Chain A
Amino acid sequence: MHIPDGILPLPVTLGGYAASMTICWLCIRAINKREDPRADIPKAALLTAAFFVASLIHIPIPPASVHLVLNGLLGALLGVFAFPAILIGLFLQAVMFGHGGLTTLGVNGVILGLPALAAAGVFHCRSRGVADPPSPRRTTVFGFLAGFTGIAFSVLLFALILLTSLPAHLSAAAERSAILALGLAHVPLAVLEGLLTGLLAGFLLRVHPVILDGV
Chain B
Amino acid sequence: MIAPSISVSPDSPFVHRWDPRLKLIGLLLLAFTFSFVSNLRVLPVMIALTLTVVAMSRYPLDLLLRRLRYPSLVILGLIIVLPLISGFTPLVEWGGLTVTREGLQAALLVATRFFCIVTLAAVLLGTTPLLRTVKAMQALGLPYVMADMALLVVRYLEVLSADLRRMRIAMRLRGHVEQRRPWRNLRTLAWLTGSLILRGYERSQGVYNAMRLRGYGHAPVRPGEFTATRVDLLALAAVCAAAGLLIWLELTL
Query: Which of A's residues lie within 8 Å of B, judged by CB?
Result: 2, 4-10, 13-14, 24, 28, 31-32, 36-39, 41-54, 56-57, 59-62, 68, 70, 77, 81, 84-85, 87-89, 91-92, 94-99, 101-103, 166-170, 174, 178, 192, 195-196, 199-200, 203-204, 207-208, 211
With beta carbons under 8 angstroms apart, the residue of B3, B121, B143, B208 that contacts A5 is B121
Q: Which residues of A contact B156 (CB under 8 A)?
A: 45-46, 49
**Chain A proximity mask over B97-111: 1 for CB below 8 Å, otherwise 0:** 000001101100111
Q: Is the CB of B3 within 8 A of A96?
A: yes
Within 8 A of A (CB), among B180-211: 180-183, 185-187, 189-194, 196-201, 203-205, 207-208, 211
Q: Which residues of B contact A97 (CB under 8 A)?
A: 3, 70
Q: Is the CB of B3 within 8 A of A28?
A: no
Q: Is the CB of A168 within 8 A of B87?
A: yes
Q: Chain A: which residue is nearest B194 at the CB level?
A: A203
Given the known A-B contacts A47-B197, A49-B156, are A38 and B87 also in contact in the complex, defined by CB atoms under 8 Å? no
Q: What are 22 contact pairs spanning A and B, CB under 8 A?
A: A6-B116, A7-B78, A24-B146, A41-B148, A43-B208, A47-B201, A49-B200, A50-B160, A50-B196, A53-B157, A60-B180, A61-B182, A84-B145, A88-B146, A92-B153, A95-B133, A166-B106, A168-B102, A199-B191, A204-B194, A207-B194, A208-B198
Given the known A-B contacts A46-B201, A192-B182, are A91 and B149 also in contact in the complex, defined by CB atoms under 8 Å? no
User: For chains A and B in complex, what number of residue pairs have CB atoms within 8 angstroms?
Assistant: 242
Question: Which applies to chain B's interface (DSSP): helix, strand, loop or mixed?
Answer: helix
Q: Is the CB of A42 within 8 A of B207?
A: yes
Cα separation A49 to B106 with both chains bound (whole Å)? 37
B57 in the interface, Cβ–Cβ < 8 Å? no
Q: Which residues of B contact A170 (CB under 8 A)?
A: 85-86
Question: Which applies to chain A's interface (DSSP): helix, strand, loop or mixed?
Answer: helix
A51 CB, min distance to chain B CBs, angstroms = 8
Q: Which range holds the interface residue count of chain B?
A: 35 or more
Q: Which residues of B contact A62 (CB under 8 A)?
A: 180
Cα separation A10 to B203 with both chains bound (whole Å)? 42
A200 CB, min distance to chain B CBs, angstroms = 4
A92 CB, min distance to chain B CBs, angstroms = 7
Q: Which residues of A contact B105 (CB under 8 A)?
A: 168
Cα separation A128 to B103 with both chains bound (whole Å)? 51
Q: Is the CB of A45 within 8 A of B106?
A: no
Stretch from B9-17, B33-41, B225-233, B235-243 that touches the partner? B33-41
**Chain A proximity mask over B16-33: 1 for CB below 8 Å, otherwise 0:** 000000000001100110
Cα separation A211 to B197 with both chains bound (whole Å)? 10
B139 in the interface, Cβ–Cβ < 8 Å? no
Q: Is the CB of B193 within 8 A of A68?
A: yes
B7 in the interface, Cβ–Cβ < 8 Å? no
A2 CB, min distance to chain B CBs, angstroms = 8
Q: Which residues of A contact B35 (CB under 8 A)?
A: 5-6, 8-10, 13, 103
For the A-B complex with A13-B32, A14-B32, A70-B193 known, give 13 more contacts whose Cβ atoms are closer than 8 Å: A2-B74, A5-B118, A6-B112, A32-B145, A47-B200, A47-B201, A52-B160, A57-B164, A57-B189, A92-B157, A98-B122, A169-B88, A208-B201
**Chain A proximity mask over B72-91: 1 for CB below 8 Å, otherwise 0:** 00110010001001111000
Q: Chain A: which residue is nearest B178 at the CB level?
A: A60
Q: Chain B: which residue is nearest A143 at the CB level?
A: B190
Q: Which residues of B contact A43 (CB under 8 A)?
A: 201, 204-205, 208
Q: Is the CB of A53 within 8 A of B161?
A: yes
Q: Which 9 A-B pairs have the closest CB atoms?
A: A6-B114, A6-B113, A168-B106, A45-B152, A199-B190, A50-B200, A168-B86, A98-B71, A5-B117
B112 CB, min distance to chain A CBs, angstroms = 8
Given the known A-B contacts A5-B118, A14-B32, A60-B180, are A203 and B148 also in contact in the complex, defined by CB atoms under 8 Å? no
With beta carbons under 8 angstroms apart, the residue of B38, B121, B193 that contacts A167 is B38
Within 8 A of A (CB), among B121-137: 121-122, 125, 130, 133
Q: Is the CB of A4 within 8 A of B71?
A: yes
Q: Which residues of A contact B106 (CB under 8 A)?
A: 166-168
Q: Which residues of B contact A24 (CB under 8 A)?
A: 146
Given the known A-B contacts A9-B35, A9-B38, A102-B31, are A88 and B113 also in contact in the complex, defined by CB atoms under 8 Å? no
